[in-house]
Chains A and B, each alone.
Chain A
């Protein structure tokens, strides 16, 4: 059934990865993707037989945090191989060539693999000063993004800056920075993998999904894969029982903090933040922010630098008064945009004295040329 000579199998053998370990890894991935166990074999087969698709990774107004995250892929030997199944033809931080040799690699990928390559974009795209806020080889980021996205089979906006504008677009957005969907509105097959930075397990899972099904996973209203961004942090948080019991951290280092009580009062944004951190965790499953005693800052949400700050101010609602019900409602509203939730709770004072841009765009309508299976706005948005 499997081609014993496949490049991937040989690669596995060279790296000392047994068939059984590989199947176990595929099992873990299918769990991340919330797929039925029966799909495992299909995942394994697809990875083994895949020809290396070409990937070009562009960095614009970025901090390279997503690139660093890529280097942290867990399950090291096999995780590496999954990423090795891509031919990374352009990535400024890791590539050996520089200057015009580097630019030639990009030009060649765009010309020869047009319609086939995957574009990954890290960092926001500035539109101020005629593009002079970010140039590479003398060309503006916007110019490069338009060219590269036009020929891409799909574009992955990795990290919150590329997905939604992120930090550079935070008020007052000095460089008129935009996320990919706004900077290149005709981009095809866009998938947003926000978070600051992205959790590499979610990139790995997306790549496997694509190689397995030759399609992209269902997305939410912000074009985020549901397998990674489908549930609120709060729903899967290991401290949820303390929240329900009304047990809160009151001061840093107090007994409740040491015991692992809920961080709601210290400003946790877990109830209005959607990501799989509590399940997948970070750095080979070692830990996650709430696990180390600090509140969630909602880093995968649009405009979180404006909507989730001040970080240490707790979400609307007074603990102790039917709070479970109240926070669940906050969570429900959040999919329609945290701004709506905050507005509903009269917390515009969060932003007093600051020039805050429009907080949450209306959900983008599904497009036929995009692969998304959008949840209907009623599914999670409630009556907002």
Chain B
């Protein structure tokens, strides 16, 4: 039995540490720890709720937009603002574009190097790569000379002796299974995807001024004026440019990403047997198709328990709690209780080792993440959860795409509950949204043509129109999963703010009952060929697409006093 530490886990957002016990070449137990804390929610106290989205958006720059969306929804829920249809359409466009772009970056730039051996690509026969590429897609960049050029670029890079970000990695590890020709194809598409994402995200610049950290959100609507006759508004020219970018997006996803995903996955089908995790899946749902509370959602909400795809349970936000038994926080009423976010407290109390340290004491508190639970159970959130709930709810297009992928890989639905299942579900969702997004561009054009130009509910902009006390919740499906913000407003200012974030659900530590969080559960029984090179651990952790900056919570006012005493 030996203890393996992976810190930092790289190719993620933020600071994540994994400790694992490895025996006989497999992981016997694992602990997930977040090692960074900022206290964004406390910073929000006392501020104008209309400003909150700009603060919370900075919780994460990789999933930019997501905390802005959840925040404006929470404040709108509290004060009763009703954004007009154009605001809903613009938000759907922004959310879907974020999801598509983020998933592509994850596949190629954060996750691919767990499956693709760059050094092996140097021994590829470009003619063979060309044949492979043309057998799986009609994407035009597939000639022998094209892949020869890519190979020469990589060769020159290696010969120069400065491997930069690719130095000291796991090249040649026995867990890499792709033939050199497939590795070369993947490296070429890694580079193409870099260019693609930069172009595609111009959708956000058009609708939000810039990316990362768009600046067009407003409580009650959007700040982007719409007028077909004005140069300073979204107009017919914008629609044409959006349509072009949306088409290019779908082109890349359907002709490069999905064929690559299927080709690479076919070499790693054994990973449908690893990384199962907790087996409970939670989805808030996303993409309202009408306005006002209770509108139908393009991707449905729901709960699946114990991998039972025959039953989708209705989601009840009242069943959400957070525990701190193994988190560096204290609860006034005892550390083994679970608190609903409306009653949430967050008093940090770091009891871990003083840095620099070698090991965390995982029997005690060991993470800056809390342990969220639904009805007492740990829940996996993210693309796999969304696709499972949609599939089990009978979503026609999701059923088609899931069936297509399972058929092509020659596996059954049970393969979805795995590391490979997460990778596949992310690709399926990307294709689904890359298709769907053009509907919203068309809806925007229709409204523009009818001179339906409203973008904002001005009736609730002035704080004097708000109730003296108000509370609201905002739910959103971020690329990495279910995101909720809860806000209390009093006398026009934020009194309390709580976020429960996808990576808190997935990466959180054990709870009072000893139930592991989803990362920890998914790592059980993961094979580890070489303890010095924890490539397999990275595969399963990366399949969740960790985003640690998002996951970490706030301190309350009591703690500030403690901190001051300590400082002095």
> Which positions in A face B, CB cutoff 8 Å?
7, 10-11, 14-15, 52, 54, 59-69, 71-74, 76-77, 80, 86-89, 91-105, 126, 128-140, 143, 166-168, 170-172, 174-177, 196-197, 199, 251-253, 257-260, 282-284, 286-294, 297, 305, 309-312, 353-354
Complex formed: what's the CA distance from A67 to B549 in Å?
A: 13
**Given A98-B6, A293-B223, A174:B563 Cβ within 8 A:** yes
Complex formed: what's the CA distance from A301 to B76 in Å?
A: 29
Report chain A residues within 8 Å CB of B131: none
The reply to whether A282 and B209 form a contact with Cβ atoms under 8 Å apart is yes
Complex formed: what's the CA distance from A290 to B13 in Å?
A: 29
B35 on interface, CB distance cutoff 8 Å: yes
Complex formed: what's the CA distance from A129 to B162 in Å?
A: 38
Report chain A residues within 8 Å CB of B64: 65, 68
Closest to B60 in A: A63
The reply to whether B61 and A253 form a contact with Cβ atoms under 8 Å apart is no
Complex formed: what's the CA distance from A14 to B188 in Å?
A: 13
Complex formed: what's the CA distance from A95 to B169 in Å?
A: 8
Complex formed: what's the CA distance from A292 to B203 in Å?
A: 12
Complex formed: what's the CA distance from A139 to B195 in Å?
A: 35
The reply to whether B205 and A282 form a contact with Cβ atoms under 8 Å apart is yes
The reply to whether A136 and B7 form a contact with Cβ atoms under 8 Å apart is yes
Choose from B40, B209, B225, B534 the contact partner of A167 (Cβ within 8 Å).
B40
The reply to whether A10 and B156 form a contact with Cβ atoms under 8 Å apart is yes
**Given A95-B11, A354-B46, A292:B208 Cβ within 8 A:** yes
Report chain A residues within 8 Å CB of B166: 95-96
The reply to whether B47 and A309 form a contact with Cβ atoms under 8 Å apart is yes
Interface bits B159-170 vs A (CB < 8 Å: 1, else 0): 010101111111
B202 on interface, CB distance cutoff 8 Å: yes
* One of B51-59, B331-339, B476-484 contacting the partner: B51-59
B369 shortest CB reach to chain A, Å: 14
What would 14 A/B residue contacts be, using CB atoms closer than 8 Å?
Answer: A15-B153, A63-B61, A65-B64, A89-B162, A89-B164, A105-B167, A136-B7, A136-B8, A136-B15, A138-B358, A172-B43, A252-B218, A260-B232, A283-B210
Complex formed: what's the CA distance from A74 to B195 in Å?
A: 9
**Given A63-B61, A87-B162, A99-B534, A138:B209 Cβ within 8 A:** no
Report chain A residues within 8 Å CB of B227: 258
Complex formed: what's the CA distance from A214 to B306 in Å?
A: 62
**Given A99-B7, A134-B15, A68:B43 Cβ within 8 A:** no
* One of B263-271, B275-283, B454-462 contacting the partner: B454-462
Report chain B residues within 8 Å CB of A311: 48, 50-51, 54
Within 8 A of A (CB), among B36-73: 36-40, 42-43, 46-48, 50-51, 54-55, 58-62, 64
The reply to whether A14 and B51 form a contact with Cβ atoms under 8 Å apart is no
Given A65-B61, A168-B43, A282-B211, 15 other A-B residues pairs in contact with their CB atoms under 8 A: A60-B36, A68-B212, A69-B61, A77-B195, A94-B165, A96-B167, A97-B10, A99-B9, A128-B567, A135-B357, A137-B8, A167-B38, A252-B458, A253-B225, A312-B51
Report chain A residues within 8 Å CB of B113: 96
The reply to whether A175 and B51 form a contact with Cβ atoms under 8 Å apart is no
B44 shortest CB reach to chain A, Å: 9
Report chain B residues within 8 Å CB of A100: 5
The reply to whether B109 and A289 form a contact with Cβ atoms under 8 Å apart is no
Report chain B residues within 8 Å CB of A354: 46-47
Complex formed: what's the CA distance from A36 to B216 in Å?
A: 36
The reply to whether B6 and A305 form a contact with Cβ atoms under 8 Å apart is no
Report chain B residues within 8 Å CB of A63: 13, 58-62, 549
The reply to whether B205 and A14 form a contact with Cβ atoms under 8 Å apart is no
A278 shortest CB reach to chain B, Å: 12
Complex formed: what's the CA distance from A136 to B458 in Å?
A: 46
Complex formed: what's the CA distance from A269 to B355 in Å?
A: 41
The reply to whether A305 and B232 form a contact with Cβ atoms under 8 Å apart is no
B507 shortest CB reach to chain A, Å: 15
The reply to whether B39 and A174 form a contact with Cβ atoms under 8 Å apart is yes
Complex formed: what's the CA distance from A126 to B118 in Å?
A: 37
The reply to whether A93 and B12 form a contact with Cβ atoms under 8 Å apart is yes
Report chain A residues within 8 Å CB of B567: 128, 176
Complex formed: what's the CA distance from A99 to B274 in Å?
A: 22
Complex formed: what's the CA distance from A67 to B15 in Å?
A: 14
> Which positions in B face A, CB cutoff 8 Å?
5-15, 35-40, 42-43, 46-48, 50-51, 54-55, 58-62, 64, 105, 109-110, 113, 118, 149, 152-153, 156, 160, 162, 164-170, 194-195, 197-199, 201-202, 204-213, 215-216, 218, 220-221, 223-227, 230-233, 328, 348, 350, 352-358, 453-456, 458, 461, 493, 533-534, 538, 549, 554-555, 559-560, 563, 566-567
Closest to B493 in A: A353
**Given A134-B37, A283-B211, A310-B51, A98:B8 Cβ within 8 A:** yes
A72 shortest CB reach to chain B, Å: 5
Complex formed: what's the CA distance from A80 to B357 in Å?
A: 38
Closest to B357 in A: A138
Report chain A residues within 8 Å CB of B35: 134-136
Choose from A65, A96, A104 the contact partner of B212 (Cβ within 8 Å).
A65
Choose from B197, B201, B209, B353 the contact partner of A291 (Cβ within 8 Å).
B209
B107 shortest CB reach to chain A, Å: 14
Complex formed: what's the CA distance from A250 to B301 in Å?
A: 39
Complex formed: what's the CA distance from A80 to B169 in Å?
A: 23
Complex formed: what's the CA distance from A136 to B149 in Å?
A: 38
A92 shortest CB reach to chain B, Å: 5
A279 shortest CB reach to chain B, Å: 14
Report chain A residues within 8 Å CB of B48: 309-312
Report chain A residues within 8 Å CB of B358: 138
The reply to whether B555 and A174 form a contact with Cβ atoms under 8 Å apart is yes
Choose from B110, B170, B213, B538 the contact partner of A197 (Cβ within 8 Å).
B213
**Given A252-B458, A253-B455, A99:B210 Cβ within 8 A:** no
Report chain A residues within 8 Å CB of B454: 253
B95 shortest CB reach to chain A, Å: 17
B132 shortest CB reach to chain A, Å: 22
The reply to whether B461 and A99 form a contact with Cβ atoms under 8 Å apart is no
Complex formed: what's the CA distance from A253 to B86 in Å?
A: 11
Complex formed: what's the CA distance from A71 to B102 in Å?
A: 12
The reply to whether A286 and B197 form a contact with Cβ atoms under 8 Å apart is no
Complex formed: what's the CA distance from A140 to B46 in Å?
A: 30
The reply to whether B231 and A260 form a contact with Cβ atoms under 8 Å apart is yes
The reply to whether B37 and A175 form a contact with Cβ atoms under 8 Å apart is yes
Closest to B9 in A: A98
**Given A253-B456, A294-B215, A310-B47, A89:B231 Cβ within 8 A:** no
Complex formed: what's the CA distance from A282 to B210 in Å?
A: 6
The reply to whether A143 and B356 form a contact with Cβ atoms under 8 Å apart is yes
Closest to A100 in B: B5
Complex formed: what's the CA distance from A72 to B210 in Å?
A: 10
Choose from A135, A177, A252 the contact partner of B38 (Cβ within 8 Å).
A177
Closest to A242 in B: B232
Closest to A102 in B: B10
Choose from B6, B160, B230, B355 the contact partner of A139 (Cβ within 8 Å).
B355
Report chain A residues within 8 Å CB of B205: 282-284, 286-287
Complex formed: what's the CA distance from A283 to B97 in Å?
A: 15
Closest to B5 in A: A99
The reply to whether A93 and B39 form a contact with Cβ atoms under 8 Å apart is no
The reply to whether A99 and B8 form a contact with Cβ atoms under 8 Å apart is yes
The reply to whether B355 and A143 form a contact with Cβ atoms under 8 Å apart is yes
Complex formed: what's the CA distance from A282 to B202 in Å?
A: 9
Report chain A residues within 8 Å CB of B461: 251-252
**Given A130-B355, A259-B232, A309-B51, A289:B165 Cβ within 8 A:** no
**Given A66-B61, A137-B7, A175-B38, A72:B211 Cβ within 8 A:** yes
Report chain A residues within 8 Å CB of B566: 128-129
Report chain A residues within 8 Å CB of B223: 252, 292-294
Complex formed: what's the CA distance from A67 to B13 in Å?
A: 10
Complex formed: what's the CA distance from A291 to B153 in Å?
A: 39
Report chain A residues within 8 Å CB of B353: 138
Complex formed: what's the CA distance from A288 to B13 in Å?
A: 25
Q: Among B13, B204, B453, B461, which residue has the most Cβ atoms of chain A within 10 A? A: B13
